[in-house]
């Protein structure tokens, strides 16, 4: 059944997530600090307020996933 293969691949990717995310701890912390700082008090988080930090996290995570795939 091809459906079960899709689920197996998805589960395997999810198992790798903590390991990959750990490689980007600095970028994750920076993004988290930006989100926390821009949404303090009554301020709402608005789109693209932390875009630079998010892109850095996304790039790091993508690169970590590519390294793991090799």
Coil, helix or strand at residue 49: coil
What's the pLDDT at 70?
63
* Structure token digits, residue 67: 């390294």
Residue 1 lies in a domain: no
Q: What is the pLDDT of residue 65?
A: 86
Residue 62, pLDDT > 60, answer yes
**Residue 46 placed within a domain:** yes
Where does the pLDDT of residue 4 fall: very low under 50, low under 70, confident under 90, or very high at 90 and above? low
> 8-56 pLDDT, tens per residue?
877 877 888 888 889 999 999 999 999 999 888 888 888 899 999 999 9
For 53, the domain range is: 6-69
Entry field: residues in the chain: 70
Has residue 1 got a pLDDT over 90? no
Q: Which among 21, 19, 6 is positioned nearest to 57, based on CA atoms? A: 21
**Distance between CA atoms of 15 and 33, rounded to whole angstroms?**
26
Evaluate whether residue 48 is within a structural domain.
Answer: yes
Burial call 2-14: b when 16+ CB within 10 Å, e when fewer: eeeeeeeeeeeee
Q: Within a domain: residue 22?
A: yes
């Amino acid at each position: 059944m091809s459906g079960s293969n899709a689920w197996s691949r998805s589960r395997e990717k999810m198992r790798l997530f903590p390991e990959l995310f750990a490689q980007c701890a600095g970028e994750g912390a920076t993004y988290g600090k930006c989100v926390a700082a821009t949404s303090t008090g009554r301020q709402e988080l608005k789109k693209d307020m932390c875009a630079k930090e998010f892109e850095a996290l996304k790039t790091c995570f993508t690169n970590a996933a590519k390294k793991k795939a090799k």
